[in-house]
Structure formats: structure tokens, C-alpha cells
Amino acid sequence: MSRLPFAGRIAVVTGGASGIGQACCELLAQRGAKLVVMDLQAEKASEVASAIGGHAYALDVADVEQVEAVAKRVEREVGEVELLISAAGVLQGDALPPAQVPWAQYNRVFEVNLRGTHAVCAAFGSRMAARGRGAIVNLASISAMRSTPLHAYGPMKAALVGLTENLAAEWGRSGVRVNCLSPGPVLTPALQAAFDQGQRDRQTMAQNSATGQIASVNEVAQAAAFLLSDEASAITGVNLPVDHGWLVATSWSTFGGLRPAV
Ligand SMILES: NC(=O)c1ccc[n+]([C@@H]2O[C@H](COP(=O)([O-])OP(=O)(O)OC[C@H]3O[C@@H](n4cnc5c(N)ncnc54)[C@H](O)[C@@H]3O)[C@@H](O)[C@H]2O)c1
């Protein structure tokens, strides 16, 4: 018998063509799952899927009718989906004062990060609930848990934590667990490029966390895989920070900063 934890299980990852979503696809595939990579970037999704022997579907999660149609196709063409990671998301861009946030940008953050996650959970989670088995992980953010100058992104991520709690209660008796992760800064190719081009300073960013480190995409993927696994069978409705202790460390600046290693 296979000892791989996800052997024979079908997993959908939205936003699977890049960053955290891609790392989740690769890790779940290594652990035996059959992957369905969904993304706005069809070509990149196909590349990720073919490298791991998975399937790729082009999808804009903001198009709620398309989400339901793609869910139907996936279940017909690949099989019954048991695992879902909703990682598709857009950043807000500049940290503008509230009156200057363009409404088009605000609406896009809403329709992708919040409504899109709702639509994907509704489509796949309802099917899991009807079969009495499944697990879902949504990607929130530490900006859901603390004030930041991201006036669209932060409140949407906070609402996503609320959505996760609602769905966990909604489908608890139907055997579907729903949790979310709140990463701090994550070393994605986009952040690495910002370091390389001098737009962000790695040292400054890292010193805000308790451990002095920035999470890798693989560290976030490992947390997602844990929450999807049977090892987390008693865990539903939680928001797990994956932040190298950013949440606990930032307030220390008021007291002169963190102490160096003993
Ligand atoms: N990188 C970080 O530091 C960080 C921190 C906290 C939370 N997050 C969250 O993690 C998730 C993944 O972020 P990432 O850093 O890996 O980003 P990324 O840009 O590398 O990947 C996001 C993926 O989502 C896809 N996508 C965007 N809009 C979409 C849509 N409408 N429909 C389908 N796919 C769409 C993109 O094409 C891309 O492949 C996001 O929800 C993000 O908000 C990231």
C-alpha cells in the first residue's frame, strides 16, 4: 500500500501557475495527489501541470459563471475533487490613502481575492459536501490580522478569514474542513525581483519577523499540505499565520526592537 498521504486524491489549486500556488501544486504532487492547476495564465498553468503530470485549466476566478462551468468540466474530465487550495489573488499595488485608491483597483481586488475565493469554494466545496469528504485551504494574509496601508487588500483578506469560518461551520457535519493561511512576506519570484532591482531591502523586511527570516513558498506549501492532510483531521475554521513570527515581533519596535540571539 502507498504511504503517500494524498495518493489517489484529486487536488485543485487556483493561482497554481506561480508563486505559492505553484509550490502547493508541486508539493501535493510529490505527496501523491493528482493535480488540477487552474490559473488566468493558461500557458504557465500548462507548463506547471505538465511538469508534475497534472491537468491545467484556464480560469478567471472573477468570472463566477466560468468557475461553475470549469468545476463541472473538471469533475467530468478528471474526477471527483477532494482537495482545494484557493491561492489565486492579486496585490493592491501602491499603498495609497483611502480616497486615492482607484475604484477599478478596489473592485478587482474584491472580485478576485474575495468573491473569486467564495465562488471557487462554493463550486468545489458543495460537491465535496454532497459526497461527505473534502478539505479546503484559502490564502489570506497577515494584512487580514493587522492594520496596513493596503485599504482594499487588507479588508478583503480579513473578510476571507470570515468566509473561511462560515464555510467551516456550514460544511462541518458534511465532512469538509475549511481553513486558511495568513502568510507574512513570502519569497516569491516577484519579491526576489524587487530585491534584485533594489525596490525592496531584504534585510529591512526580514528584521521585522521574530526569526529574522522571510518565508519561502515551500514553507507556505508545507503548511497548506498539513491543513489538507488527515493529520489535521480535528482542525477546521482556523486561520494559521505562516509569518516567521511577524505578528508577534512588530510591536517590539515600540520598546527598542527585538533582542539579538542569546
Ligand atoms: N507573496 C506574498 O508575500 C503573500 C503574502 C500573503 C498572502 N499572499 C497571498 O497568497 C496568494 C498567492 O500569492 P503569490 O505571492 O503566490 O502570487 P503570484 O502572483 O505569484 O501568484 C498568483 C497567481 O494567481 C493568478 N491569478 C491572479 N488573478 C487570477 C484570477 N482572476 N483568476 C485565476 N488566477 C488568477 C496569477 O496569474 C498567478 O499565477 C494570493 O492570494 C496572495 O494574496 C501572498
The pLDDT score that the predictor gives to residue 36 is 98
| Residue 253 scores a pLDDT above 80 | yes
Backbone angles phi, psi at 103, to 5 degrees: -60, -35
Domain that holds residue 72: 10-186+215-250
106 among known catalytic residues: no
Three-state DSSP string of the chain: CCCCCCCCCEEEEECCCCHHHHHHHHHHHHCCCEEEEEECCHHHHHHHHHHCCCEEEECCCCCHHHHHHHHHHHHHHCCCEEEEEECCCCCCCCCCCHHHCCHHHHHHHHHHHHHHHHHHHHHHHHHHHHHCCEEEEEECCHHHCCCCCCCCHHHHHHHHHHHHHHHHHHHHHHCEEEEEEEECCEECHHHHHHHHCCCCCHHHHHCCCCCCCCEEHHHHHHHHHHHHCHHHCCCCCCEEEECCCHHHHHHHHHHCCCCCCC
Give the residue, by CA position, lying nearest to ligand 1 atom 41: 89
Rounded CA-CA distance 179/139 in Å is 9
Residues 6+ away with beta carbon under 8 Å from 208: 246, 249, 250
Ligand 1 pocket test, pick from 12, 39, 63, 191 with the greatest ligand atom count within 8 Å of Cβ, gives: 39
Rounded CA-CA distance 16/49 in Å is 9
Ligand 1 midpoint to CA 249 (Å): 25
Asked if residue 256 is part of any domain, the answer here is no
* Domain count along the chain: 1
Q: Any idea which of 75-79, 161-165, 180-184, 198-202 has the lowest mean pLDDT?
A: 198-202
Tell me the per-residue pLDDT of 100-128, one tens digit each, with 9 for 90 and over: 999 999 999 999 999 999 999 999 999 99
Tell me the per-residue pLDDT of 145-158, one tens digit each, with 9 for 90 and over: 999 999 999 999 99
Q: Are 195 and 189 in contact (CB under 8 A)?
A: no
The pLDDT score that the predictor gives to residue 199 is 76
Q: Is the dihedral of CA 137, 138, 141, 145 positive or negative?
A: negative
Ligand 1 midpoint to CA 39 (Å): 10
- The whole-chain average pLDDT of the chain stands at 96
Asked if residue 93 is part of any domain, the answer here is yes
The pLDDT score that the predictor gives to residue 2 is 60
The pLDDT score that the predictor gives to residue 31 is 98
Give the residue, by CA position, lying nearest to ligand 1 atom 8: 141
Give the residue, by CA position, lying nearest to ligand 1 atom 1: 186
Asked if residue 28 is part of any domain, the answer here is yes
Ligand 1 midpoint to CA 19 (Å): 7
Asked if residue 193 is part of any domain, the answer here is no
The pLDDT score that the predictor gives to residue 1 is 53
Q: Are 106 and 94 in contact (CB under 8 A)?
A: no
Give the residue, by CA position, lying nearest to ligand 1 atom 40: 89
Q: What mean pLDDT do residues 29-36 have?
A: 98
Rounded CA-CA distance 202/179 in Å is 30
CATH number at residue 51: 3.40.50.720
Q: Are 38 and 70 in contact (CB under 8 A)?
A: yes
Ligand 1 midpoint to CA 262 (Å): 37
Tell me the per-residue pLDDT of 128-140, one tens digit each, with 9 for 90 and over: 999 999 999 999 9
Ligand 1 midpoint to CA 107 (Å): 16
| Residue 168 scores a pLDDT above 80 | yes
Rounded CA-CA distance 140/250 in Å is 19
> What ligand 1 atom has the least distance to the C-alpha of 23?
16
Give the residue, by CA position, lying nearest to ligand 1 atom 2: 186
Asked if residue 108 is part of any domain, the answer here is yes
Ligand 1 pocket test, pick from 60, 139, 153 with the greatest ligand atom count within 8 Å of Cβ, gives: 139
| Residue 54 scores a pLDDT above 60 | yes
Rounded CA-CA distance 125/120 in Å is 8
| Residue 185 scores a pLDDT above 80 | yes
In sequence order, the β-bridge partners of residue 134 are: 176
Asked if residue 222 is part of any domain, the answer here is yes
Residue predicted with more confidence, 94 or 134: 134
The pLDDT score that the predictor gives to residue 204 is 86
Asked if residue 4 is part of any domain, the answer here is no
The pLDDT score that the predictor gives to residue 155 is 98
> What ligand 1 atom has the least distance to the C-alpha of 215?
3
Instruction: Write down the catalytic residue from 57, 124, 153, 171.
Output: 153
Q: Are 121 and 178 in contact (CB under 8 A)?
A: yes
Asked if residue 180 is part of any domain, the answer here is yes
User: Backbone dihedral region of 227: left (phi > 0), alpha (psi from -120 to 50 degrees) or beta?
Assistant: alpha
